[in-house]
């Protein structure tokens, strides 16, 4: 196997939060030992609920935030420290898009100028070729030249996200991190943007890290998927296998809770309890207080992410014992 484009090795990041005005600061582990690799042109989805650390992972991978532990290797070399000149040069090759396109765009500049900006910053081509490139990019994301002359507030939500995407692609990056890029859009517009992302990913041969709480969208876009819970990966596998035969009890509950039109509430796993609080991490397996199959040892032993066969990894004491995922055929 060739060297992956991005290798994330045991990264961790903690914040300090104060409880109440005079409370003592507590350490909150947002991401706690996450590792994965991403090949050129490959797509990896990160699924999780709020507090799972999925967004922080995206930011750590890009160097937008320093790691407390572990490191990221990009194209064979360690990721330079965020904010340095070396890191800025590398930024042309890795881009990020967020949930809120209006917040990501400058309200006072026409769209076309904002798409041209990264070309100016990274000194790509001369003035004329940059203008051509902006036209190409607008066309590629399904916007017209007249959209380029407009300001962000004159575009719809879906059009804005297309503009953000055009800007991200301006420097022909190798790597794109998308953090909930379609969550704020209406269903019919979501489908437009998902199709566009799939097309562009294939056309540009982008490696993509796609962060979302929406299992369906993640499956549509990603080839491999990791599921995060309280700052750690609990399961990893190919998108098709993972959603068809989830191994970890948390993934099983997530898949079962995803609403499907035309299906009523039957045989659904409804997890008890609240979403976990990273400031108050349970001992042992962090999922045990909500886990329907937890045993006594889950309270004390912390499961490690281990290979369970068929390209799957899972962090569950009970699954490790089984060794292989429960296949329908078995």
Partner 1 sequence: MASASSLVRLEGLTVAFDGVRVLHGVDVELARGGTLGLVGESGSGKSVTWLAALGLLPTKARVEGRVLLDGEDLLAASERRLDAVRGGRIAMIFQDPASALNPVLTIRRQIGEALALHRGLSGRAIGAEAKRLLDLVGIPDAERRLSAYPHEFSGGQNQRIMIAMALAGRPDLLVADEPTTALDVTIQAQILDLLDLVRRETGMALVLISHDLGVVSQTCDRVAVMYAGRIVEEGPSDRLFADPAHPYTRGLIGALPPLDGSRRRLVSIAGTVPDPKAPPPGCAFAPRCLHSDRRCAVAQPSVETIEPGRRMACVLAVHRREESAGAASSLARKETAAS
In the stretch 269-288, what mask flags binding to partner 1 with x, by CB under 8 A? -xxx-xx-------------
- Widest pairwise Cα distance in the chain: 68
CA pair distance 270, 278, nearest whole angstrom: 21
Q: Which of 263, 297, 299, 304 binds partner 1 (CB under 8 A)?
A: 263
314 and 320 Cβ atoms separated by less than 8 Å: yes
Q: Which stretch binds partner 1 (CB under 8 A): 77-85, 115-123, 190-198, 320-328?
A: 190-198
109 and 118 Cβ atoms separated by less than 8 Å: no
Q: Which stretch binds partner 1 (CB under 8 A): 67-75, 77-85, 217-225, 314-322?
A: 217-225
Q: Which stretch binds partner 1 (CB under 8 A): 34-42, 83-91, 105-113, 254-262?
A: 254-262
User: Can you tell me which residue has the tokens 């991200």?
Assistant: 168
Question: Is 20 among the residues that bind partner 1 (CB under 8 A)?
Answer: no
Q: Which stretch binds partner 1 (CB under 8 A): 2-10, 89-97, 167-175, 240-248?
A: 240-248
Question: Measuring CA to CA, which residue among 205, 218, 148 is closest to residue 176?
Answer: 205
Question: Is 28 among the residues that bind partner 1 (CB under 8 A)?
Answer: no
Q: Which of 15, 35, 49, 151 binds partner 1 (CB under 8 A)?
A: 49
Buried b (16+ CB within 10 A) or exposed e, 44-64: bbbbbeebbbbbbbbbbbbbe
Contacts (CB under 8 A) with partner 1, residues 169-188: 186-188
Question: Is 262 among the residues that bind partner 1 (CB under 8 A)?
Answer: yes
30 and 228 Cβ atoms separated by less than 8 Å: no
Tokens of 62: 């890009």
Residue placing its CB nearer to partner 1 in the complex, 185 or 206: 185
CA pair distance 330, 160, nearest whole angstrom: 48
256 and 263 Cβ atoms separated by less than 8 Å: no
Residues that bind partner 1 (CB under 8 A): 49-50, 156, 158, 186-192, 194-195, 198, 213, 215-217, 219-220, 240, 243-244, 253-265, 268, 270-272, 274-275, 290
């Amino acid at each position: 196997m060739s060297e992956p484009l991005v290798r994330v090795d045991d990264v961790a990041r903690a914040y300090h939060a104060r409880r109440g005005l005079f409370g003592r600061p507590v350490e909150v582990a947002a991401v706690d030992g996450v590792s994965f690799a991403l090949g050129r042109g490959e797509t990896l989805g990160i699924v999780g609920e709020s507090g799972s650390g999925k967004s922080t992972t995206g930011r750590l991978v890009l160097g937008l935030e320093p790691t407390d532990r572990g490191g990221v290797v990009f194209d064979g070399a360690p990721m330079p420290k965020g904010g340095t000149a070396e890191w800025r040069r590398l930024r042309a090759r890795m881009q990020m898009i967020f949930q809120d396109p209006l917040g990501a765009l400058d309200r006072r500049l026409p769209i076309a100028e904002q798409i041209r900006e990264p070309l100016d910053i990274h000194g790509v081509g001369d003035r004329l070729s940059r203008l051509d490139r902006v036209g190409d990019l607008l066309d590629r994301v399904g916007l017209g030249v007249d959209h380029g002359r407009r300001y962000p507030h004159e575009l719809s939500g879906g059009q804005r996200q297309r503009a953000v995407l055009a800007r991200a692609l301006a420097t022909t990056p190798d790597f794109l991190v998308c953090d909930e890029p379609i969550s704020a859009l209406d269903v019919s517009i979501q489908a437009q943007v998902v199709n566009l992302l799939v097309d562009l990913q294939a056309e540009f041969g982008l490696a993509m890290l796609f962060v979302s709480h929406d299992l369906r969208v993640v499956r549509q876009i990603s080839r491999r998927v990791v599921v995060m819970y309280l700052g750690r990966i609990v399961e990893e596998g190919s998108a098709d296998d993972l959603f068809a035969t989830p191994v970890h009890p948390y993934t099983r509950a997530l898949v079962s809770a995803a609403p499907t039109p035309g299906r009523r509430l039957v045989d659904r796993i409804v997890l008890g309890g609240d979403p976990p609080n990273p400031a108050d991490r349970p001992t042992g397996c962090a999922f045990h207080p909500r886990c329907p199959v937890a045993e006594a040892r889950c309270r004390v032993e912390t499961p490690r992410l281990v290979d369970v066969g068929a390209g799957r990894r899972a962090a569950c004491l009970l699954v490790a014992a089984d060794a292989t995922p429960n296949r329908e055929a078995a």
